[in-house]
Structure 1
């Protein structure tokens, strides 16, 4: 349910924009509202589950997710929709860490635990892929509102069954450890300020108060976060964690990766439906090759790591994904799916998928068993933050460029397409930059493929 909602809104975005009267810059908040809250509060959610109980936090997260989904489905204005998406993102930060912990603890036999975690991971991947298709079906055959209402029966099922099947569990602590709530609040608020300021720049001059004030406030709050984390007895993310060069570089590269990836799917959906006049269903089905390509890339990357090493596989994967985005940037208003969209999508998907196992290995480079959960959490947080910042920067870039082109007499469809293709090129540059940083700065990483889920299981156990 959670992973479904990360992708299910993409195909319905044009209909949501039309129905609720979003501006294109404002529409980015339908995605960013979710990403900011889930990324900003994810580490805190994991700590809360440890302290107050994983079953309790999972049930709480499901309730919040259901209520927020109902708010989104019933939205009558942009503000109501964005508020609901903030609620859904908060619910993910509460429920997702608790769900992994519970599954790991339910199965004490090693083989059964491995099978259960494999099913859990498979369902998450399936949810992310099916989101595009289900969104197209529901939006075409019913209404975009049902992409949110579909969560309600799932939530009811979980609330009925979970208390009967799962006992409570929490981490036993040798001493009382406080929760770094202040760090979570200041970091999330700081990111909100920066993203808000960047999106305002799509419609207002860079020197205007609407842009400058939130940007300054956001940077200030992030600086406050650094001070809080340095002084906190039990910080959410200990700053010394970034002393390892490989882990630091891969997290920066992950930020670039998700900035380009989320912006790609966001703008490609708008291009297909608003410029090429695709239906939501056709647009949703058009993403199937991307899912297959990513799956193939993951398999290829996993097989290549023992032979060529993490550094080479990750660097080539990032650069190859950049090539795929560059191919996508060649689109124009007369492009076809087979000749225009599909080639870049397949190249991007295969190479992007190949980076994933390598990036996971690098994110866990040099960590102890006790820190492996932290390493996985930091990587997930950086991916969510990168998605939000990338969407804010690249959508703003595309809209400002399109606006300038229209003022110069260019036809609106051509101008908007030019804005999107410029953003795709910048995304391609970010991917290539990530690959160059990996090649230049990675230390030697043990090529043995590491399973982050297994590492987390060991910590919990």
Structure 2
């Protein structure tokens, strides 16, 4: 049975792209905005062991439900699922802002994570189905990528500013007006989904339950590993159970007439390579801000507010990179762009590490930060364009979910690996020297990984599309072909 077609002509492309970009900014914002507020959040009853779950609850729910969220966008309608994601974000933010105890706050963070898992693939697939593959889509992805990458950096800035001026609850309440704005913009520009009628009988419930459980357990194991140890029972049981459930899922999908996730799509070369790039990106370039934050606060004695202000520079670099990425993808092609940008990103991280000194300053680090931040924007734009290229509209949500899962898992694995190398580099000579030495070693490892991962970019097969394309969305092009 053919999957329903949920792509529809966007009535106002500029307004629609604005709504989708702001939605992506919100997702990126919530990834980092809570970090700086953690000490203040602990005052509602968290102990030292519980506090890290403020981050983990969001990460586990986000990573666990991404594949399901992406496929639901394909099957149930991207606009419908987009609004569900916004509603979940609003609910989680409201609950977090009024929480009076750790349980309610953790539940709120899990709801926010679930909202992100639903919203992220719906947002990306709306872009990839509304804008034609080639320069038009590259420009749209550049703007979307700028919003997402900048949101992650802005989270550090706003987290410090809001916590210091308005209190930690403001880091949750800030999402509410943003969600309302996005909903209004989307209502005015993104039409209703067409042909989305589905019943529970036709929906692959066993596959949905199995892949969600497997993804959740996988992320749980990866998140808990660095906190409680890789040999701890919760880590081992989670990872083993995830592997078993993934095998069960493969069997279910191979025997189901209407699989939730057709296994054939996972053999798509560019999707696999693009997901690998997303994994490597988040495990390396995406993890460096953690070490920069630690360095600024623990060695250079920056306050939370001053640390947030320092992140204006990488934020500006990311913005420049995403605009540059959209242009480069249309001129030299995705393969050349991703390969070169990953190598240059590695060089920027090495430069950052070389400039690190106990008696140094933030200004000393500017050259390295500028290079890897600009490349962060370029890679972020290109990796999703690569992962979704060449796939039909009815599989764009799934591809978005798969690539986003690679990014989420890469963040968990990469940070755990880099923190382990950082800890091993400590000599105990002084706390400041240990932080600097650890950050240097972690940076060198990250640079090596991202440079090796450039081979994934070189292996992409992306056909060149003429620079002059119709400005209408994909569905409009299909309509014109059918009419002729």
TM-score by length of 1: 0.78
Residues 219-274 of structure 1, C-alpha deviations (whole Å, 9 max, x = no match): 32333333333334333432212333333222212111122233222332233223
Residue 171, structure 1, aligned to residue 190, structure 2 = no
Match of 1:333 among 341, 344, 358: 358
The aligned counterpart of 2:38 is 16
2:27 and 2:116 in contact (8 A); partners too: no
Q: Note if 1:351 corresponds to 2:375.
A: yes
> In the TM superposition, what whole-angstrom CA distance separates every residue of 1:292-333 from its partner, at most 9, and x where no partner exists?
222322343344445543322211111111222223334343
SS at match of 2:253: helix
Q: Given the superposition, is the C-alpha separation of residues 397 and 179 from structure 1 closer, same or farther in structure 2, using an over 3 Å criterion?
A: farther
1:44–1:180 contact (8 Å) kept in structure 2 = no
2:460 paired residue number? 442
Q: Against the structure 1 CA distance between its residues 193 and 347, is the aligned structure 2 distance closer, same or farther, given a 3 Å change threshold?
A: same
**1:65 and 2:84 equivalent?**
no
C-alpha contact 1:8 1:135 (8 A) present in aligned 2: no
Query: Matches of 2:342 and 2:255 in 1, distance apart?
Result: 36
User: How many residue pairs are counted as aligned between the two chains?
Assistant: 446
Per the alignment, residue 419 of structure 1 pairs with: 438
Cα distance change, pair 321–179 in 1 and its aligned pair in 2 (3 A): farther
Cα distance change of structure 1 residues 8 and 339 upon mapping to structure 2, 3 Å threshold: farther
Q: Secondary structure at the match of 2:286?
A: helix
- Higher alpha-carbon deviation: 418-427 or 27-36: 27-36
Bigger drift between 167-176 and 195-204 goes to 167-176
8 Å Cα contact 1:45-1:93 kept in structure 2: yes
Deviation for aligned residue 1:336: 0.8
Q: Secondary structure at the match of 1:13?
A: coil
Aligned equivalent of 2:268? 244
Residues 36 and 385 in structure 1, CA contact (< 8 A), matched pair in contact too: no
Contact 1:104 1:457 (C-alpha < 8 Å) held by counterparts: no
Identify which of structures 1 and 2 has the higher relative contact order when contacts are C-alpha pairs closer than 8 Å and 6+ apart. 2
| Structure 1 residue corresponding to 2:452, chosen from 433, 439, 447 | 433
1:110: which partner in 2? none
Give yes or no for contact 2:145–2:380 (8 Å, CA) kept in 1.
Answer: no
2:404 to 356, 370, 380: 380
Counterparts of 1:129-144 in structure 2, within 5 Å, are: 130-144=154-168
Question: What per-residue deviation string (whole Å, max 9, x for no partner) do you get for residues 83-132 of structure 1?
Answer: 3222101112334555678899999xxxxx99999987776676555434
Match of residue 366, structure 1, among 378, 383, 390 = 390
Q: Classify 1:205/1:126 alpha carbon distance in 2 versus 1 (closer, same or farther; 3 Å).
A: closer
User: Kindly tell me: are residues 183 and 274 of structure 1, through their superposed partners in 2, closer, same or farther at Cα, counting changes over 3 Å?
Assistant: farther
Q: Could you list the per-position Cα deviations for residues 128-182 of structure 1 after superposition, in whole angstroms to 9, with x for gaps in the alignment?
A: 55434322321222222211122234456677x6898689833315986833444
- Please point out which of 342, 352, 374 is paired with 1:318: 342
In structure 1, the residue matched to 2:29 is 7
Residues in 2 aligned to 1:106 and 1:432: alpha-carbon distance in whole angstroms: 33
Which 10-residue stretch deviates more, 32-41 or 72-81? 72-81
- Over 3 Å counting, the alpha-carbon distance change for 1:421 and 1:72 in structure 2 is farther
Summarize the Cα distance change of 1:36–1:185 in structure 2 as closer, same or farther, 3 Å threshold. farther
SS in 1 for 2:284: helix
Question: What corresponds to 1:145 in structure 2?
Answer: 169
Tell me, yes or no, if structure 1 residue 301 matches structure 2 residue 325: yes
Structure 2: runs of 5 or more not aligned: 1-21, 132-136, 480-484
CA 1:5/1:352 → structure 2, altered by over 3 Å: closer, same or farther?
closer
- Cα RMSD of the aligned pairs, angstroms, is 4.3
